[in-house]
Amino acid sequence: MSNKLEGFSTSASSFNADVDFAFWLHVWISVALFLSVVAPMFYFAWKYRADKVKDEEIGNLTHHTGLELAWTIIPIIAVMVFFYYGNTTMQMFRTMPTVTDETVVIKVEGSKWKWKYEYPANKSGHVHQIGGVFKKPTIDKETGKVIEEGTMGITALYVPVNTDVILEMTAPVNDVIHSYYIPAFRMKEDVVPGRTTKQWFNVSKTGEYDVECAEYCGTDHSYMYSKVVVMEKDEYKKWFESTDKDTPKGNFPKDGKALYAQNGCASCHSIDTDAVLVGPSLKGIGDKYDTAYLKDAITNPDKDVPEGFYPGIMPTFNLPAEDLETLIKYMETGK
């Protein structure tokens, strides 16, 4: 498993050229201003050091109109250039494109420690929902060696090439702030509990691009990882208009173990040990409760909160009936 964030050297979206230009312009103007102050300071400190100048040779310069105008006007121009390119770049990000029949609008939910994607209904009424995956690697505490590889970013956001994509992002009310960051697109936006923030992009190259959380969000922040898979338009349309629950690329299992990870259960409940994480352990849960109770616990978690825990922490899950049945069976039997 690798958690190396890539994409800084990749230019894939319509933002890249403008953002990169504004960035380097700011850098080089800042370097020039820095050197205009620091270089003369070191030069004069060396030229007029004590062992080279006698006290009687020292004079006072009380006024120089040219220098005073220069050190006032030049920084003002620099600041105005910073403001202009900073503002125009920000407006480019903040101004949502006009929604047309070609625009793709996707709901994104960030929560500890996964991303979830929900697409609009297609012509048949089917809604594609892709859940985030979170599974930490198992590490031997004594040797520090990885016993079992972790899984991150199996699921991905699927979008068509050369198309405006609008992301409507939020986080559960009782979660924390996250930040959806795609380096290859120069796109980053905070994902705030109980609020909806929006961002958009238009990608000119097919391929896979890294997504990571850019806001420290807790213990397993570094595992909050996903992908954007940019597809040809025909390929994307074929998948979107289907009712196939399988995602078009990659290894995306739909068994109980995968659903347990994809929906974030593993980050809050251990199922093979008695360890208490965010919520109670689910080890042996099938021997304690029947299927109806487990269904209620997933779809209406505040109905019967275990002693010692609090309502409002676990989000409500609205899973397809088949997925819900598979997940409950896994919780009951471990298979």
> Quick one: three-class SS letters along the chain?
CCCCCCCCCCCCECCHHHHHHHHHHHHHHHHHHHHHHHHHHHHHHHHCCCCCCCHHHCCCCCCCHHHHHHHHHHHHHHHHHHHHHHHHHHHHHHCCCCCCCCCEEEEEEEECCEEEEECCCCCCCCCCEECCCEECCEECCCCCCEEECCEECCCEEEEECCCEEEEEEEECCCCCCEEEEEHHHCEEEEECECCCEEEEEEECCCEEEEEEECCCCCCCHHHCEEEEEEECHHHHHHHHCCCCCCCCCCCCCCCHHHHHHHCCHHHHCCCCCCCCCCCCCCCCHHHHCCHHHHHHHHHCCCCCCCCCCCCCCCCCCCCCHHHHHHHHHHHHHCC
Pick the CATH number of 1-53+63-252 from 2.60.40.420, 3.10.105.10, 3.60.20.10, 3.30.1360.70: 2.60.40.420
- Per-residue model confidence (pLDDT) at position 151: 46
**pLDDT band at 144; cut points 50, 70, 90:** low
Over 90: is that where the pLDDT of 257 sits?
no
- Per-residue model confidence (pLDDT) at position 211: 86
CA-based nearest residue to 220, from 170, 156, 263, 277? 277
Over 90: is that where the pLDDT of 191 sits?
yes
- Per-residue model confidence (pLDDT) at position 269: 84
pTM check: above 0.75: no
Mean pLDDT, residues 74-80: 88
Domain boundaries, the chain: 1-53+63-252, 261-333
Mean pLDDT, residues 57-68: 79
Domain 261-333, what architecture? Orthogonal Bundle (1.10)
CA-based nearest residue to 137, from 154, 156, 151? 151
Residue 275 burial (10 A CB sphere; 0-12, 13-18, 19+): exposed
- Out of 43-47, 177-181, 318-322, the most confident range is 177-181
- Per-residue model confidence (pLDDT) at position 19: 76
Mean pLDDT, all residues of the chain: 79
- Residue 175's CB is within 10 A of a number of other CB atoms, namely 20
**pLDDT band at 2; cut points 50, 70, 90:** very low
CA distances from residue 135 to 76, 114, 227, 263 in whole angstroms, order as listed? 52, 10, 16, 11
Q: Give long-range contacts, CB 8 A cutoff, 24+ apart: 97-100.
A: 97/164, 97/166, 97/200, 97/202, 99/166, 100/164
Over 60: is that where the pLDDT of 4 sits?
no
